Amino acid sequence: MLDAIALGELLIDFATVDTDRDGYPTLAAHPGGAPGNFLAALHAYGCSGAMLGKVGADTFGDLLCATLAQAGIRTEGIVRDPSVFTTLAFVTFGPGGERAFSFARKPGADTQLRFDELDLSLLDEARLLHFGSLSLTQEPVRSATQQAVAYAAAHGKLLSFDPNLRLPLWPDADAAKTQILWGLRQADIVKISDDEVRFLWSCGPEEGAARLLADFGVRLAMVTCGPKGCLLQNAGAAVRVAAPRVLPVDTTGAGDIFGGSAVSRLLQLGRAPEALTEDELTAIGRFAATAASLSTQYPGGISAIVPEETVLRCMEG
Ligand code: ATP
């Protein structure tokens, strides 16, 4: 039995770490992709997970599979395709530390995943399917995701969605909105950032969470607000949780780590998302916000996840 499957992009995040003596950026290659970060956090905090996705038959594909396996994630559902290259993403930082993304993805292996390549026996084993919007940007992976979501829903699985908006990957903002709204309509559990709420509805996190429940039938809404923490809401309660104060060096993947940590806590409680009490929502939010904030103190996504004891110690402190 598996706790969760994540379907979607596997890529290498290249982050600028320095400049060479000619002033050109030097880059560090971090294995990444939101669903992998999500699963690595889920596993670090007590649940099992497997990945469905596609990489090239190249060094970076090897690196991604090895990193995920080392993080305790089952990788037999990752397709190795020699006809495409593993997707590469470049993260640069502006003068105020703000991130900008560019992608070498024409077509990156992640976009070429087809439904007939998915190992559905993994989905049969799992309690939950997690997906995001990068696998909705283009075909054939969009259809693969839509069909996998339909299959999971028909087989009584929980569906978890993180929009993870990356505008440069979409033809325009309306296309991104259309697909993200589709994802929200399918999901039982949504992790979304305050920026994404503003992008979709030009409103704040409280109104965003309320809309997710009322208009999209979401059973648990989690809105993250960067250093300000998060808001969790279900049919019975809404809680606001602060994030611990840290000195961030790299916030890449913090949202995914938040999502994986929260879902891990939820699955271990074994309760329906809409039935969680105010105290349970607070406990989930505190744990996830602490795990995510602590991860920002280290570079990278998966490699920045801290052990559970460290999270618990910080929560006690
Ligand atoms: P990403 O797209 O980078 O994965 P996101 O936009 O989905 O992230 P955020 O709202 O930025 O998600 O952050 C998720 C969680 O990470 C927050 O709830 C908080 O706990 C932690 N976090 C993020 N940025 C900071 C920060 N600067 N200081 C402390 N904690 C942070």
Q: What is the pLDDT of residues 44-70, one digit of tens each?
A: 999 999 999 999 999 999 999 999 999
pLDDT of residue 130: 98
Ligand 1, residues 224, 245, 250: which to mutate, most atoms within 8 A of Cβ?
224
Q: What is the mean pLDDT of residues 190-219?
A: 98
**Residue for token pair 């007939």:** 116
Q: CB–CB of 28/15 below 8 Å?
A: yes
Q: How far is the CA of 265 from the centre of ligand 1 (A)?
A: 18
Structure tokens at 28: 């560090």
pLDDT of residue 13: 87
Binning the chain into helix, strand and coil, the percentages to the nearest 5 are: 45, 25, 30
What SS3 state is found at 191? strand
Q: Which residues contact 241 (CB under 8 A, 6 or more apart)?
A: 229, 230, 231, 232, 282, 285, 286, 289
Ligand 1, residues 101, 296, 298, 305: which to mutate, most atoms within 8 A of Cβ?
296
Ligand 1, residues 293, 295, 315: which to mutate, most atoms within 8 A of Cβ?
293
- 224, pLDDT greater than 90: yes
Beta strand pairing status for 126-132 and 49-56? unpaired
Q: What is the mean pLDDT of residues 158-175?
A: 96
> What is the Cα–Cα distance from 270 to 185, expressed in whole angstroms?
23
Higher pLDDT, 102 or 158: 158
- 101, pLDDT greater than 80: no
| Residue owning the nearest CA to atom 13 of ligand 1 | 226
- 165, pLDDT greater than 70: yes
pLDDT of residue 170: 94
pLDDT of residue 17: 82
Q: Which residues line ligand 1 (CB under 6 A)?
A: 193, 224-227, 229-230, 243, 246, 248, 251-256, 258, 289, 292-293, 296
Pick from 280, 168, 172: nearest CA to 220 = 280
Q: What is the mean pLDDT of residues 99-127?
A: 89
Pick from 289, 228, 226: nearest CA to 257 = 289
pLDDT of residue 105: 63
- 25, pLDDT greater than 80: yes
- 1, pLDDT greater than 90: no
Q: CB–CB of 131/145 below 8 Å?
A: yes
- CA gyration radius, the chain: 18
pLDDT of residue 98: 72
Q: What is the mean pLDDT of residues 207-230?
A: 98
Q: Say yes or no: ipTM exceeds 0.85.
A: yes
Q: What is the mean pLDDT of residues 243-262?
A: 94
Total-model pTM: 0.95
Confidence of residue 40 (pLDDT cuts 50, 70, 90): very high
Which of 93-102, 141-150, 246-255, 273-282 is predicted with the least confidence, judged by mean pLDDT? Answer: 93-102
Q: How far is the CA of 82 from the centre of ligand 1 (A)?
A: 35
For 168, list phi and psi in degrees, rounded to 5: -60, -15
Q: What is the mean pLDDT of residues 297-309?
A: 92
Q: Closest ligand 1 atom to the C-alpha of 99?
A: 3
Q: How far is the CA of 257 from the centre of ligand 1 (A)?
A: 9
Q: How far is the CA of 8 from the centre of ligand 1 (A)?
A: 21
Pick from 7, 111, 81: nearest CA to 50 = 7
pLDDT of residue 193: 98
Q: How far is the CA of 253 from the centre of ligand 1 (A)?
A: 8
Orientation angle between helical segments 205-216 and 194-201, nearest 10 degrees: 60
| Residue owning the nearest CA to atom 29 of ligand 1 | 227
| Residue owning the nearest CA to atom 14 of ligand 1 | 255
- 99, pLDDT greater than 80: no
Q: CB–CB of 285/222 below 8 Å?
A: yes
> What is the Cα–Cα distance from 275 to 268, expressed in whole angstroms?
14
Q: How far is the CA of 305 from the centre of ligand 1 (A)?
A: 13
